Amino acid sequence: MIKLVEKNSLDGQRFGLNKMTNILSKNNIITSGESSLIYDISSVLNRAVHSQLGEYNSETFDWVFDVGLKLLDSLGKKLSD
């Protein structure tokens, strides 16, 4: 995310993930779908970091892994454009 912010000469590299996502979305660097996925995935991962995973099942983790890889691929392509 920081690399996308820097590549597009946007002010946001000292912000957190949610703020950078908002900046990239408002500047049409990422799509609204990508933005939504980032928010959804980061919510699950934040809970994982704080050992609050009781409400999630293995399907959720499979979804995060599958969608996360696709999202990383999509963001990577934006860096190489």
Tens digit of each residue's pLDDT (9 = 90 or more) over 51-78: 877 777 889 889 999 999 999 999 999 9
pTM of the model: 0.84
The answer to whether 1 and 18 are in contact (CB under 8 A) is no
Which helix (H) or strand (E) segment holds residue 55: the answer is none
The answer to whether 60 and 39 are in contact (CB under 8 A) is no
- How confident is residue 33, by pLDDT bands cut at 50, 70 and 90? very high
Tens digit of each residue's pLDDT (9 = 90 or more) over 38-50: 999 999 888 888 8
Q: Which amino acid is at 7?
A: K
For 16-27, what is the mean pLDDT? 94
Contacts of 47 (CB under 8 A, 6+ apart): 53, 55, 56
Phi and psi dihedrals of 57, rounded to 5? -115, 180
